[in-house]
């Protein structure tokens, strides 16, 4: 099953593998900083306000 998913989403998997360090940088910061970080992702902003 995992092989099928990777095959179907190869472009996404390649991007995640290439950018995984940047993705996890958020979690290296102190937890008290998390609420002050802003996202350009529209869905995340909508969820914050809800």
Question: Mind listing the pLDDT tens digit for each residue in 30-46?
Answer: 888 877 776 667 666 66
What does the alpha-carbon distance between residue 37 and residue 44 come to, in Å, rounded to a whole number?
A: 12
37 dihedral zone (left: phi>0; alpha: psi -120 to 50; beta): beta
**Structure-block tokens of residue 50:** 């809800």
pLDDT band at 13 (very low <50, low <70, confident <90, very high): confident
Range of the domain at 42: 2-49
What does the alpha-carbon distance between residue 6 and residue 14 come to, in Å, rounded to a whole number?
A: 9
What does the alpha-carbon distance between residue 2 and residue 32 come to, in Å, rounded to a whole number?
A: 35
- pLDDT at 3 exceeding the cut of 60: yes
Domain count of the chain? 1
- pLDDT at 18 exceeding the cut of 80: yes
More reliable by pLDDT, 43 or 8 = 8
More reliable by pLDDT, 33 or 47 = 33
**Structure-block tokens of residue 9:** 């989403």
């Amino acid at each position: 099953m995992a092989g099928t998913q990777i095959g179907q989403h190869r472009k996404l998997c390649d991007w995640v593998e290439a950018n995984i360090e940047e993705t996890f940088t958020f979690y290296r910061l102190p937890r008290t900083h998390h609420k002050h970080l802003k996202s350009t992702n529209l869905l995340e902003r909508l969820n914050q306000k809800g």
